[in-house]
Chains A and B, each alone.
Chain A
Amino acid sequence: MPDQFPMELPVEAVPRPAFVESLGHELAVAAATLPPTIGVTAQRVGVLADTHCVSADGADLPDSVLEALDGCDLILHCGDLSAGAVLDRLSTLAPVLSVRSRIDPPADGVRLHDGPLLVRAGHTLIGMSADIPDDIDPADLFGTDVDLALSGTSHVPRVGRTGSTLLVNPGSPTIPLSDSGPTIAVIDLDGRRSTVHIVHLPRSRS
């Protein structure tokens, strides 16, 4: 190999500015639609939505909800909380992340995020949105393939699957719109495996 060997590097390999710029622009547009990702450590995740609590101190969130969430190391709220104080009550149990719906208070960072949010718990990628319409592919909504897609709005508990994504709607703990009654969901994360439990609560409000 000649002495000047390293000088034979392909200096002409400098990317053309037009290519770099156009790709950079394309990626910037794609990045603008990708939700933020929050990394967390959690094995048991409590999920709720549609709490519709209106009292200033969140006291109208039934105690049974807090009892059912006991032992969770992360709580995710998927919109229609109505009063922000409900997040304060939930925060007494575990860290809380939530996404806001149109009727919720103004955004407050990732505690109450405006728009879809991604949560990475170990190997599990969770997408949260106040609503995931039936005709929308969760991968399009979240900009990436998620393991769990959480949403609210319907007040009806549902666990389903599309492709490799598990769809979870925890229902409502206060205004149920199905025979299932008041519900939340608790999800156990174990490596790449997720186990979803729909937790049925007493009908009376505390």
Chain B
Amino acid sequence: MSECESEAAVVAAAQSDPNRFGDLYSSHVGFIHALAWGRLGDRAAAEDVTAETFRRALRALPRYEPRGVPFRAWLCRICINLINDELSRRQNALRFSSAMPMDPPLDAASDEMAEAETRAMVHALIDQLPPNHREVIMLRFAEDLSVADVAVRLGRSPDAVKQLQRRALAGLRSLATRGGTDA
């Protein structure tokens, strides 16, 4: 059974028994939260977007059809829509507040924004990686799992995980330095 088929089986199981939605939640919550945090640069907002993503996913689960697209991509689409909504809201708030007298920006706030931009850029690059590279990067660095834990999670040997991680990092470097999509 391919990875895609096995995921389709997990999704189908959750559709016929919604109590199994927890399996999907556990598999993807780390990724979705990291994606939201990377784009929004704000932990609390990322938690809100993550929560809303899964609430909407659960509500729309009966309508979900795999159609060869990974379940995570479907979740990402919901998440990115919510992120865009949040960014639009912020932009509108900024437009409104710019008409008001403002204090000069603090260095700490500027640093925070720069960090948020870096995170968003990193996540945008990660999104361009092939799924197996993306997964190992997220598990190792976003979920902070050890090589041994990732090996168990992916059903691979630790050496295979290290090799996959090397290839994924090389791909990410290539994307970062050349801006290409050939990872």
Query: Which chain B residues border A30 with CB–CB below 8 Å?
Result: 55, 58
Indicate if the CB atoms of A5 and B19 lie closer than 8 Å: no
Q: When the two chains form the complex, which single residue of B16, B33, B38, B63 contacts A125, counting CB atoms closer than 8 Å?
A: B63
Which stretch in B76-84, B93-101, B105-113, B137-145 binds the other chain?
B137-145
Specify which of A35, A37, A38, A118 lies most central, judged by the most chain B CB atoms within 10 Å of its CB.
A37
Q: Closest approach, in angstroms, between the C-beta of B23 and any C-beta of chain A?
A: 11
Whether A10 contacts B51 in the complex (CB less than 8 A), given A5-B173, A125-B63, A144-B62, comes out as no
**Chain A residues proximal to chain B, CB less than 8 Å:** 1, 3, 5-11, 13-16, 19-20, 23-24, 26-28, 30-32, 34-39, 118, 120, 125, 143-145
Question: Is the pair B173, A31 in contact by a Cβ cutoff of 8 Å?
Answer: no
**Interface pair B58/A6, CB less than 8 Å apart:** no
Q: Are B22 and A143 in contact (CB under 8 A)?
A: no
Does chain A have a CB within 8 A of B128?
A: no
Q: Is the CB of B50 within 8 A of A15?
A: yes
Contact at B119–A32, with CB atoms within 8 Å?
no
Residues on B with C-beta less than 8 A from A31 are: 18-19, 21-22, 58
Known pairs A8-B118, A32-B19 / 8 extra A-B pairs, C-beta < 8 Å: A1-B177, A6-B141, A9-B142, A10-B37, A10-B38, A14-B144, A19-B47, A32-B18
Give the complex CA separation of A36 and B20 in angstroms.
11
* Chain A residues with CB below 8 A from B47, complex form: 15-16, 19, 23
Chain A residue at minimal CB-CB distance from B32: A15
Contact A9 B122 (CB under 8 A): yes
Which B residues lie within 8 Å of A118 (CB)? 62
CA A36 to CA B51, docked complex, whole Å:
22
Report the 7 A-B pairs with minimum CB-CB distance, sorted nearest first.
Answer: A9-B141, A34-B18, A37-B62, A31-B18, A37-B15, A1-B176, A31-B21
What is the CB-to-nearest-CB distance from B152 to chain A, in angstroms, rounded to a whole number? 18
> How far is the CB of B162 from the nearest CB of chain A, in Å?
14
Among B21, B62, B126, B173, the one with the most A-chain Cβ atoms within 10 Å of its Cβ is: B62
> Main secondary structure on chain B at its contact with chain A?
helix
In the complex, A1→B51 CA distance in Å?
33
Taken residue by residue from 140 to 162, chain B's Cβ proximity to chain A (1 for < 8 Å, 0 otherwise) reads as: 01111000000000000000000
Instruction: Give bound CA distance, A83 to B83, whole Å.
Output: 53
- Is B74 in contact with chain A by the CB < 8 A criterion? no
A145 and B26 alpha carbons, distance in the complex (Å): 25
Give the chain B neighbours of A125 by CB distance below 8 A: 62-63
Distance (Å) between the CB of B104 and the closest chain A CB? 28
- Please name the residue on chain A nearest to B169 by beta carbon: A6
Q: Which residues of B contact A35 (CB under 8 A)?
A: 18
A13 and B29 within 8 A (CB): no
B173 and A28 form a contact (CB under 8 A)? no
- B22–A28 CB distance below 8 A: yes
Encoded as 1 (CB less than 8 Å from any A CB) or 0, chain B from 2 to 19 comes to 000000000010011111
Please name the residue on chain B nearest to A19 by beta carbon: B47
A-B contact pairs, 25 of them (CB 8 A): A1-B176, A1-B177, A6-B172, A10-B119, A11-B141, A13-B38, A13-B119, A14-B30, A14-B142, A15-B30, A15-B33, A16-B47, A20-B33, A24-B25, A28-B21, A31-B21, A34-B18, A34-B21, A34-B58, A36-B16, A36-B17, A37-B15, A118-B62, A125-B62, A144-B60
